[in-house]
Amino acid sequence: MRTAHTVTQIRAAEAALMATLPEGTLMERAATGLAVACADYLGGTYGAGILIIAGSGDNGGDALYAGARLARRGARVDAILLDPARAHAGGLAALRDAGGQVVPEKSRADAVARADLVLDGIVGIGGKPGLRPAAAEVVALVERHGVPVVAVDVPSGIDVDTGETPEPHVRATVTVTFGTHKIGLLVDPGATAAGAVHLVDIGLSPYLPEPALSALQAEDVAERLPAPERTSQKYSRGVLGVMAGSTQYTGAAVLAVGGALAGPAGMVRYVGPEQPANFVRARWPEVVVGEGRVQAWVVGSGLGTEPHRAEDVSRVLGSGLPVLVDADGLRHVLGRLEGQVLLTPHEGELARMLDVEREEVATHRLRSAREAARRWNATVLLKGATTLVVTPEGEARVNTTGTPWVGTAGSGDVLSGICGSLLAAGLSPLDAGSVGSYLHGMAGVLASRGGPIAAEDIARTVPEAYRRIRAVAT
Residue 172 assigned as binding residue:
no
Find the radius of gyration of the CA atoms of the chain. 25
Residue 120 assigned as binding residue:
yes
Can you tell me whether residue 36 is helix, strand or coil? helix
Q: Which amino acid is at 76?
A: R
Query: With contact defined as beta carbons under 8 Å apart, do 389 and 399 qualify?
Result: yes
Residue 126 assigned as binding residue:
yes
Residue 302 assigned as binding residue:
yes
Residue 127 assigned as binding residue:
yes
Phi, psi of 23 (to 5 degrees): -60, 135
Query: With contact defined as beta carbons under 8 Å apart, do 324 and 420 qualify?
Result: yes
Residue 57 assigned as binding residue:
no
Residue 58 assigned as binding residue:
yes
Residue 129 assigned as binding residue:
yes
53: β partners: 80, 120
Task: Report the first-to-last Cα separation within the chain, whole angstroms.
Answer: 18
Residue 329 assigned as binding residue:
no
- What is the DSSP secondary-structure string of 49-115? EEEEEE-SSHHHHHHHHHHHHHHHTT-EEEEEESSGGGS-HHHHHHHHHTT-EEPPGGGHHHHHHT-
Nearest to 270, CA basis, from 295, 249, 240: 240
Residue 220 assigned as binding residue:
no
Can you tell me whether residue 213 is helix, strand or coil? strand
Query: With contact defined as beta carbons under 8 Å apart, do 373 and 379 qualify?
Result: yes
Q: Which residues contact 185 (CB under 8 A, 6 or more apart)?
A: 4, 154, 163, 175, 177, 191, 194, 197
Residue 387 assigned as binding residue:
yes
Separation CA 376–CA 132 (nearest Å) = 39
Residue 440 assigned as binding residue:
no
Residue 124 assigned as binding residue:
yes
Longest dimension (CA), the chain: 79
Can you tell me whether residue 8 is helix, strand or coil? helix
CB-neighbour burial class of residue 173 (10 A; exposed 0-12, middle 13-18, buried 19+): middle
Residue 385 assigned as binding residue:
yes
| Binding site per annotation, positions for K(+) | 59, 120, 156
| Binding site per annotation, positions for (6S)-NADPHX | 58-62, 124-130, 153, 252, 302, 346, 413
| Binding site per annotation, positions for AMP | 383-387, 412
| Binding site per annotation, positions | 58-62, 120, 124-130, 153, 156, 252, 302, 346, 383-387, 412-413
